[in-house]
Amino acid sequence: MALELTLTIIKPDAFSAGHAGDIIKIFEANQFKIVAARLVNLTRSEAEGFYAIHRGKPFFESLTAFMSSAPALVMVLEGENVIARLRETMGATDPARAAAGTIRKLYAQDIERNAIHGSDAPETAAFEISYFFPGIELLASARAKQL
């Protein structure tokens, strides 16, 4: 198994509803180590930059408005195959289709206000981590453990 880093965001809906602690408990139960954390209140421009890959899609405007509407908790998680394991732990984007016990089944309101974000691939994780934690060499922790 590969030790990886991934970015996760406890989105404004879940953070404002007081679910951050419950979600972090789920991370810890799955042996996801938090190696960086930051409370953010994104500007619309910052949200648009982060979600630039979705520019032009029908949901882009509402997504960036939502993500800049209130504080969110951004974290870097480290663990064995953490990208795939976090995605499984999060559940389907649409909470109505998410498996029982997943974060989205437990805490999401709908397909857009879906409680949590997680990187979907190593390349995406690298971009997303550098977006919120520029200039921090986070990969050193993962590389050191592989040696």
Amino acid 145: pLDDT: 52
- Name residue 14's amino acid: A
Predicted local confidence at residue 140, as pLDDT: 47
CA 24 from chain centre, in angstroms, equals: 12
Return per-residue pLDDT of the chain as tens, 147 residues: 678 999 999 999 999 999 999 999 999 999 999 999 999 999 999 999 999 999 999 999 999 999 999 999 999 999 999 999 999 999 999 999 999 999 999 999 999 999 999 999 999 999 999 999 987 665 545 444 543
- Among 117, 128, 129, 133, the one annotated catalytic: 117
| pTM of the entire predicted model | 0.91
How far apart, in whole angstroms, are the C-alpha atoms of residue 72 and residue 9? 7
* Per-domain boundaries in the chain: 3-41+72-146
Please indicate whether residue 117 is annotated as part of the active site: yes
Q: Tell me, what's the pLDDT at 1?
A: 62
Q: Spelled out in words, what is the top-level CATH class assigned to the domain 3-41+72-146?
A: alpha beta
User: Which letter does DSSP use for residue 121 in this model?
Assistant: S
